[in-house]
């Protein structure tokens, strides 16, 4: 069976619909920033999803 790796992504903190979607699908918040990591300069969140049983 192939190795399973976590997925990572970022979402603007103000995008409550996207945040709810990711939470519903098991993503967790790794960290937040005040916008220095994106072109829009909006506060964001880095999210991670790990397959069942993977570390």
Residue 54 reports pLDDT greater than 60: no
Average pLDDT estimate for 3-29: 92
CA dihedral 54, 23, 15, 29 (to 10 degrees): -50
Average pLDDT estimate for 27-41: 93
Average pLDDT estimate for 13-21: 96
DSSP character string of the chain? ------EEEEEETT-HHHHHHHHHTT-EEEEEESSTTSTT---EEEEEE--TT--
Which pLDDT score is estimated for 51?
84
Predicted confidence band at 3 (pLDDT cuts at 50, 70, 90)? low
């Amino acid at each position: 069976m192939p190795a399973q790796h976590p997925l990572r992504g970022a979402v603007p903190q103000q995008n409550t619909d996207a945040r709810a979607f990711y939470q519903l699908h098991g993503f967790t918040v790794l960290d937040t920033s005040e916008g220095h990591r994106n072109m829009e300069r909006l506060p964001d969140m880095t999210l991670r999803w790990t397959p069942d049983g993977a570390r």
